[in-house]
Structure 1
Amino acid sequence: MPAPQAAAATRRGTRPYNADAARTWTTDKTTVATVVDGIGNSAEVAASSRLLAGVIARVAAHRGGLAALLTAADLLRAPAVDGENPDAVAVAAVAHDDVTAVHWIGDARAYGWDGRRLRRYTTDQTVGEQLRRNGAPWDLAADHDNWVRATLRTAVIAAVYDVEIPADETVLLVSDGVPDGVPHDELEALLRRYDEPQDEDGEAVGLPALARGIIAAAREDETGYRDDATVVVLRPAAARGAVLRDRPTR
């Protein structure tokens, strides 16, 4: 069976540093993708996110997503001599022949695209989402959506959530800058534009263009703020989801 295809793109927001990072890693048996969203904005946070993404991708390829996120947690909990103690949230996906296994902590997300519908598979670990699920008014809950309840630095086994996405779906991993800046229906419309799964040689095409298109679509909010936006598109070998060639708009 051919190897899964993956593409990543990231875009700095309106703050000085891009605190997001993405990484893919392929072995002879599997392909892994991860997105890390650093908490705060500094050179140290940005460097930490890049380091964490590399660690998560490599560990997940051999030991799975849970072990990878907990390894990243151990790395963050090591005391820093300079007093810097970065933190982050993350999502990781491991593509198997029959399923894509996703693990996450915080509000980084995973979506699945079956060629017809974009489905969000993860639940944000935020105070806002907790309030929403307990019947709080929508506007009150929305005010707390940026307050994450779990992060990598505090990660334990029970705090790392997991879900399985069918192997015939293309997977999107995103930092919160994507859903904050791109409404769900618009994100789905972008996926519909990339609707041919392979070229005449049977190779996946267009994933890098799709990834770039998604982060380019992220807009500023009413205050002029735009968060860092990062996406990895992971297309397992069994995926039927079209998402691949850009069509001219009419």
Structure 2
Amino acid sequence: MAAPIEPPVPVADDAPAAWASRQGPRRHQADAAATHRAPSGRLAVAVADGVGDSEAAGFAARLVADHAVRVSALEGRPDVALLAAHELLVRTHDLVPGDAAAVVALAPGGGDPRWRLAWIGDCRALSWDGRTLRTLTADHTVAAALRAQGLHPHPRLEHVLSASVHTARPQEVGVAVVDDPGTLLLVSDGVHRSVAGPALAAAMAQGGSAASRAERVVGLAAAAGARDNATALVVTAAAGG
């Protein structure tokens, strides 16, 4: 029997950001998600995916997600937030021997009218404008690097990261600026490797609250037989305040 969808905290039906997660057949839940609104009102959200199936991977993912949203909302720079999470993992490696991939999104605020994204690894951010679902990030995997060179990688290399939070160098952190993404969808690879783009688009097109959309997406991953943890975080346009 499939494990139930696991929303980490109750959220109001009209909350602008919400997530859902499912452990799946893994021994440990190594995905994490976090949201944080700074005193200024600016909102940051993140999804992190621990490397491996261990307690350490899950703890690292939770630490990265929580630290990244707080630094991002404070500094206004999600790329700086991921590098701060990198420093945290490096400095605490004896206590937190895990690693993670992560994607962070920062809503407009503080005089900045644009959304800012940063990522490392293979968590993804997608935008839904009511008609089209568009991927805003590029995976840091060995397979993606080989494809960029015109090669045809073995499918197993899709799961091998070429960069992660623990190993990240400043030039490796992906960044993007988006004027109006509509609705943002942040997912771990347990979602985007098991659910095809058209199915994700159909799930977003059904509408509903951020919470219901996130649960719907994670439910699709479960129905598709995902063998990994699956997490989806949805941020509506109202998040910008």
Report the Cα offset of residue 156 of structure 1.
Answer: 1.8
Return 84-93 or 42-51, whichever deviates more.
42-51
Residues 75-116 of structure 1: CA distance to partner in whole angstroms, max 9, x if unpaired? 11125446x510111000001153211000011101011111
Q: How big is the alpha-carbon RMSD for the aligned residues of Structure 1 and Structure 2? A: 2.1
User: More helix per residue: 1 or 2?
Assistant: 2
Q: Which position in structure 1 is the counterpart of 2:217?
A: 214
> Aligned pair 1:143/2:146, yes or no?
no
Q: 1:10 to 1:219 in 2, by over 3 A?
A: closer
Q: Residue 195 of structure 2 is aligned with which of 161, 182, 185?
A: 182
Report the Cα offset of residue 29 of structure 1.
Answer: 2.9
Residues 147-195 of structure 1: CA distance to partner in whole angstroms, max 9, x if unpaired? 110011111210111012232511111111111111111000101111x
Q: Residue 90 of structure 1 is aligned with which of 77, 86, 102?
A: 102
d(CA) in 1 for partners of 2:48, 2:131: 28
| 1:4/1:236 contact within 8 Å kept | no
| 1:95/1:167 contact within 8 Å kept | no
User: Which residue identity lines up with residue 184 of structure 1 in the other structure?
Assistant: G
- Per the alignment, in what secondary structure is the counterpart of residue 24 of structure 1? strand
> Aligned pair 1:171/2:184, yes or no?
yes
Q: Which runs of 5+ in 1 are unaligned?
A: 195-204, 240-250
Q: 1:134 to 1:80 in 2, by over 3 A?
A: closer
Q: Which runs of 5+ in 2 are unaligned?
A: 1-13
d(CA) in 2 for partners of 1:112, 1:168: 5
- Per the alignment, in what secondary structure is the counterpart of residue 218 of structure 1? helix
Calculate the TM-score normalised by the size of structure 2. 0.85
Q: Residue 108 of structure 1 is aligned with which of 95, 99, 123?
A: 123
d(CA) in 2 for partners of 1:75, 1:119: 32
Report the Cα offset of residue 232 of structure 1.
Answer: 1.1
Q: Which position in structure 1 is the counterpart of 2:34?
A: 23
d(CA) in 2 for partners of 1:53, 1:238: 18
Report matched runs for 1:53-72 at 5 Å.
Answer: 53-63=65-75, 64-72=77-85
- Paired residues in the alignment total 222
| 1:100/1:167 contact within 8 Å kept | yes
